[in-house]
Structure 1
Amino acid sequence: MKPSLQVRLSQHLALTPQLQQSIRLLQLSTLELHQEVEQMLEANPFLEVDEEAPNAYELSSTPLAERSTAAERSDEPWDGPGSSGSEAEPEPAGADTMEFGATEREDWENGTEREDFDGIGETPMSASASSGPAPEGDELDPGERNTVAPSLQEHLREQLLGMRLSPEDRAAVMVLIESLNEDGYLADPLEDIATALAGGEPDPEDPDACAAHEEARELLLDRLRCALRWLHSLEPCGVGARDLAECLVLQLRQKPRSEAQVIAILVAKHHLELLARRDTRKLTAATGADEALLREAQALIRSCEPKPGRPFTKAEANIVVPDVIVQKVGRGWKVVLNPDVMPKLRINDLYAQALRQHRGGRGGGGGGEGAPALSARLQEARWFMKNILQRFDTIQRVSQAIVERQKNFFSHGAIAMKPLVLREIADELGLHESTISRVTTAKYMATPYGTFELKYFFGSSLNTEAGGNASSTAVRALIKQLVAAEDPGKPLSDSQISQMLEEQGIQVARRTVAKYREALKIAPANLRKAL
């Protein structure tokens, strides 16, 4: 083959480093953003924390473009990327704090990426979501939240100090306490714990060593069995159980003696599977009790705690910090940024001024070999601050658009949610669907009904007999209401729920009802039936 040269013309989309950074920051969660800020503070000497930054509520009340009018009037020189200092460009005024902005919004989309997302938010990511607005003044005291509660092991060790035990028994109980999992169950069998305490396996060819090892293991196992009984006597009742049946039996034995208690212990020991299936006929045959006595036994079992260590688990990890807060303003609703999640950054004035003086003192010679690199780091710091500010501005704009579309939710709850897809918000704000998807992922909104992920407010459309549309989120809320109001003795099946929804003008298939019911973590009808 003869070699040849060819010239081709082509077009392709190239993302600048600044745009790449802005897209990456937009999709980060609050925790990931703070980690990114910490890394930038360590890597860039021109960036520092601004303890005197203005309140985020004040910043959020002013549009981003209005916060940058001073940038058009600035004539302070600064170096661009790779600049030698011979040509000066205008430096945005106020760029050394988080107040600065841009006269034109950045194009956040790359024009090629499209994410497939139908806009359905399955469940709110909040434990505080309820059927009504949260009462005022019901917030946790920061002092109470930061109080370190004792762990389950610490609670048990304190009780052990008041018991008169031999050093060997005390050490055995301590070993079992350290073997508990977070639910209060014994994580390892006693045989495995005894084997681990007895040491490594002896030489199989040495019968004396094997016999001594087995004897030591049996002694340790007897000691651990005795220690387990001591552990079972501690509070909370049921701690140290090896399975659910043993945990329930330990607690039922503390109940007042009655016929129902005897039946409850029998069911907990041998027939928990039948109780879970609500199989009254087989339970009656297995226990010899009538339905009334079985109901009393079931009530006793339900009063027990299946996870004794639950009160001692750390709940701080489940707290969701909202990115935006919805406030009632007159007859409408307003979205403000949460000041607790906004980083407070500024440019180090001392370093920036030293760089300007060093650069100017050289008479346009570039300020030495390191001046271009330092100028690039200074611009990197400014771009980082600008991209963070634009990130929060975009989150606020998207959140406000969502609130405007879902006004009925903030007045009447999830049952009044309207159908909403990403395309509607994207068209309204002039952004790409992928941008809206990034904004609504791992970003949370505090509302009168709890804290929800922004994706929760998007729901697919279901047809109604009147020719309108109903949101899938509203249908899920309606299903939850129907199940809550059902007769426990005759729970509603998926087909019956589908028929009831159709009577209200909402056309939902049985399989769709089952899908929504599972998303709400509601058990099937046979498992919801009361004895």
Structure 2
Amino acid sequence: MLGVQLVQEQRFRLSITPEMKQSFHLLTLSGQELSRYLQDAAADNPLLELEEQSVYSFKSSRRNNQHMYTSYDPLLRAKGTAPTLEQLLASQIRLMKIPDRLEKVAVYLAGCVNADGYLKVELSEVQVELGLSASELNAGIDLLQSLDPPGVGARDLQECLLLQIQRDPAAVPYAERIVKAGLEALVPFHPGRTAGKIGITSRGAQAAYEYITRLDPKPCRSIGCTERAHYIVPDAVVDMVHGEMVLKLLAAGNPRVSVNEACSNWIQEASPGEIWVTRATEARAIMRSVQQRRRTLLRVLMAIMEEQKRFLSEGPVALAPLNLAAIAEKVRMHESTVSRAVNGKYIHTPYGVYEVKAFFDSGITMVSGGQTSASAVKRRLKEIIRTEQLSKPYSDSQLSALLEGEGIIISRRTVAKYREELRILSSLERKRWA
């Protein structure tokens, strides 16, 4: 027979409050994102005040008129938006003395060029859209391909290389013949087989191959503006002063907030209503979250730079292996908290601005029993390959043996992985046959 009983028991569980969620969210924000968040919060809550950052001192470079501007805005020195690739090509076309119809066709085709400089559009559709004859369309393509940089307007890689070779007065003999013979002759390259196929000497084939590798397969990738500029504002700065590490948070990446005391006193004395009490509670919660973010970020950055102290004196070659667990144990926080703290944060060091995540690197075991960072191994691998003989480049197995001779235990497969990450060709493709 089933019975009904009243049972009392005690349980413990962790509940995340709205203020804790807010603290987690603010910790993940970068300095610029935090500034925008606080500006929006201050605009919505009149009790929250965003303290102004210290003014910048700027001295004019003019010798005859040197003034001090205490309210100088550094964003005034930021570059304006660059013209797009289409605008640059159209400006070249409009400087030419050509018929209006041909100009219209060329400008239309310039708008069909992708970011790398290739004409990726169905020409039959262009012909129907503009009502062109085949000769008019070809004339527009020829005009487009005559613009700078050489190679723009090509429809494939082979045509792109040929356009660059044909417009280069210093082109190496036989380079055009090799490209016309097919790109399969270039990867992988063997001068003997290529020379026999084209009917030239091995030395001539090698010289032509080296010239072709210097051509740009994407001639327009660095021309024109394709996206908005991204400016990095460091959250902290670290340096060595008299042998001691000095780290401080920058005001630009860590704004300060406060609660308006006059409004707070008015709420306590006049009791205007529940809505103002809620506003005051929200403002104080944001202020505590910002203060907690600042303390957490400072502790985490200090712990990271203490582990990477050799980096501050010797540079990137001295980066030590490091992971989130080690820092979490050192600062007595959870790994997820450390991960949130370093996410999207940048630090200014004596060797430039680094993303904080760059100081976390996997370790490679040494013969001595210690460890070195993967970044240091990659740099050493790059140096070895740079000093090898071009006629006898090192294979991955030989590179593994050389590194092991220096005390670094690393497999051939790991060497191949690092070589690919560094965008270094295989030994066969690095070899120079003549």
Smaller-chain TM-score bracket:
0.7 to 0.9
Aligned counterparts of 2:181 and 2:233: Cα–Cα separation in 1: 45
Alignment of 1:208-219 (within 5 A): 216=131, 219=132
CA spacing shift, 1:22–1:278, aligned 2, 3 Å: same
Q: Report the CA distance between 1:155 and its aligned residue.
A: 1.9
Contact kept, 8 Å, 2:240 with 2:312, in 1: the verdict is no
Q: Report the CA distance between 1:179 and its aligned residue.
A: 1.0
Match of 1:312, SS state, is coil
Alignment of 1:191-340 (within 5 A): 191-195=124-128, 197=129, 216=131, 219-256=132-169, 260-261=172-173, 263-314=174-225, 317=229, 319-340=231-252
Contact kept, 8 Å, 1:414 with 1:477, in 2: the verdict is no
Q: Report the CA distance between 1:270 and its aligned residue.
A: 3.5
Aligned counterparts of 1:167 and 1:397: Cα–Cα separation in 2: 67
Contact kept, 8 Å, 2:322 with 2:362, in 1: the verdict is yes
Q: Report the CA distance between 1:144 and its aligned residue.
A: 6.1
**After superposition, what is the alpha-carbon deviation per residue over 1:281-302, rounded to whole angstroms, capped at 9, x for unaligned?**
3322222222321232234323
CA spacing shift, 1:236–1:16, aligned 2, 3 Å: same
Aligned counterparts of 1:220 and 1:511: Cα–Cα separation in 2: 56
Alignment of 1:489-504 (within 5 A): 489-504=391-406
Contact kept, 8 Å, 2:82 with 2:224, in 1: the verdict is no
Contact kept, 8 Å, 1:252 with 1:300, in 2: the verdict is no
AA in 2 matched with 1:402: I
Residue equivalent to 2:314: 412
CA spacing shift, 1:26–1:253, aligned 2, 3 Å: same
Aligned counterparts of 1:19 and 1:376: Cα–Cα separation in 2: 17
Aligned counterparts of 1:484 and 1:339: Cα–Cα separation in 2: 43
Residue equivalent to 2:69: none
Q: Report the CA distance between 1:319 and its aligned residue.
A: 4.7
1:510 aligns with 2:412: yes
Gaps of 5+ in 1: 57-140, 199-215
Indicate which of 156, 167, 170 corresponds to 2:89.
156
**After superposition, what is the alpha-carbon deviation per residue over 1:298-348, rounded to whole angstroms, capped at 9, x for unaligned?**
34323433322234244863554332222231123322223332335444x
Aligned counterparts of 2:198 and 2:177: Cα–Cα separation in 1: 7
TM-score normalised by length of structure 2: 0.85
Alignment of 1:330-479 (within 5 A): 330-343=242-255, 345-347=257-259, 349=260, 353-354=262-263, 356-357=265-266, 359-361=268-270, 366-367=271-272, 371-479=273-381
Alignment of 1:95-134 (within 5 A): none
Residue equivalent to 2:123: 190
**After superposition, what is the alpha-carbon deviation per residue over 1:467-491, rounded to whole angstroms, capped at 9, x for unaligned?**
3222333222222222232233333
Residue equivalent to 2:66: none
Residue equivalent to 1:47: 48
CA spacing shift, 1:17–1:243, aligned 2, 3 Å: same
Q: Report the CA distance between 1:228 and its aligned residue.
A: 0.9
Q: Report the CA distance between 1:495 and its aligned residue.
A: 1.2
Residue equivalent to 1:529: 431
Contact kept, 8 Å, 1:460 with 1:471, in 2: the verdict is yes
Contact kept, 8 Å, 2:162 with 2:179, in 1: the verdict is yes
Q: Report the CA distance between 1:35 and its aligned residue.
A: 4.4
Q: Report the CA distance between 1:220 and its aligned residue.
A: 4.6
AA in 2 matched with 1:501: L
CA spacing shift, 1:24–1:316, aligned 2, 3 Å: same
Match of 2:262, SS state, is helix
Residue equivalent to 2:103: 170
Contact kept, 8 Å, 1:440 with 1:454, in 2: the verdict is yes
Pick which of 5-14 and 234-243 moved more: 5-14
Aligned counterparts of 1:151 and 1:441: Cα–Cα separation in 2: 32
Match of 1:305, SS state, is coil
Aligned counterparts of 1:448 and 1:36: Cα–Cα separation in 2: 30
Which structure has the higher relative contact order (CA within 8 Å, separation 6+)?
1
CA spacing shift, 1:43–1:457, aligned 2, 3 Å: same
Aligned counterparts of 1:243 and 1:474: Cα–Cα separation in 2: 39
Query: What percent identity do the matched residue pairs reach?
Result: 34
Aligned counterparts of 1:286 and 1:462: Cα–Cα separation in 2: 46
CA spacing shift, 1:354–1:415, aligned 2, 3 Å: closer
TM-score normalised by length of structure 1: 0.70
Residue equivalent to 2:389: 487
CA spacing shift, 1:397–1:358, aligned 2, 3 Å: closer
Query: In the comparison of the two structures, how many residue pairs are matched?
Result: 414
Match of 1:172, SS state, is helix
Contact kept, 8 Å, 1:327 with 1:336, in 2: the verdict is no
CA spacing shift, 1:491–1:31, aligned 2, 3 Å: farther
CA spacing shift, 1:328–1:282, aligned 2, 3 Å: same
Aligned counterparts of 2:215 and 2:371: Cα–Cα separation in 1: 45
Q: Report the CA distance between 1:355 and its aligned residue.
A: 5.9
**After superposition, what is the alpha-carbon deviation per residue over 1:73-96, rounded to whole angstroms, capped at 9, x for unaligned?**
xxxxxxxxxxxxxxxxxxxxxxxx
